[in-house]
Amino acid sequence: MLIAGAFDEAGSPTIKIRVSGDRGSRDYAATIDTGFTGFVALPLVEMVPLGLSTDPGAASVMLGDGTIIENLVARGSVILGSHLAVGTILLDETSADVLIGMAFLRAFAVTLIVTDKIVALCDAAESVETVAELIQSAR
């Protein structure tokens, strides 16, 4: 699996994911945040159209300035390419960002590749040559 991403207007790396709940699925250009320790973070408003159930449960989240907030948590399915993983999704009532974190990379067993021109996720099935070709092709 080799999934190409893109940079958003702010220069942050993004990758397309599909999140599924009991009512449906939606595609998102999720920001890859290696400073996020969790799986996926979604705005709380996405909970209803997707039909995510909060179980119910909650977790605390430490933000970059040390502030601690509380989020609802839901169990959700995420598709990356043709692969599916189930994980804990944080639902934030104050943010419009869709984030994927380190637990996402672990769940899909992928390596994050970021250069000045490319963003990609690849798993162990990809050869070093294929990855090198991708990097070379962007030069």
Partner 1 sequence: MGQMTHPLPNPRVIAERGTKIYEQKYRTDYERESRGRYAAIDIDSECAYVANYPEEALAVAKAAAPHGTFYLVHIGSPAAFKISRRTGRAHRRSV
Shortest gap between Cβ of 135 and partner 1 (angstroms)?
Answer: 25
Shortest gap between Cβ of 51 and partner 1 (angstroms)?
Answer: 8
Q: 70 and 58 in contact (C-beta within 8 Å)?
A: yes
Q: What is the largest CA-CA distance in the chain?
A: 48
Q: 34 and 95 in contact (C-beta within 8 Å)?
A: no
Shortest gap between Cβ of 75 and partner 1 (angstroms)?
Answer: 7
Q: Which is nearer to partner 1, 41 or 110 (CB)?
A: 41
Residues 6+ apart with CB under 8 A from 28: 16, 17, 18, 19, 42, 98
Shortest gap between Cβ of 85 and partner 1 (angstroms)?
Answer: 9
Q: 63 and 36 in contact (C-beta within 8 Å)?
A: no
Quote the CA–CA distance of 47 and 138 in Å, as a whole number. Answer: 37
Q: Which is nearer to partner 1, 60 or 137 (CB)?
A: 60
Q: 50 and 71 in contact (C-beta within 8 Å)?
A: no
| Binding footprint of partner 1 on the chain (CB under 8 A) | 12, 23, 31, 33, 35-39, 41, 44, 47-49, 51, 54-73, 75, 86-88, 90, 94-95, 97, 99, 101, 103
Q: Which is nearer to partner 1, 9 or 129 (CB)?
A: 9
Q: Which is nearer to partner 1, 8 or 133 (CB)?
A: 8
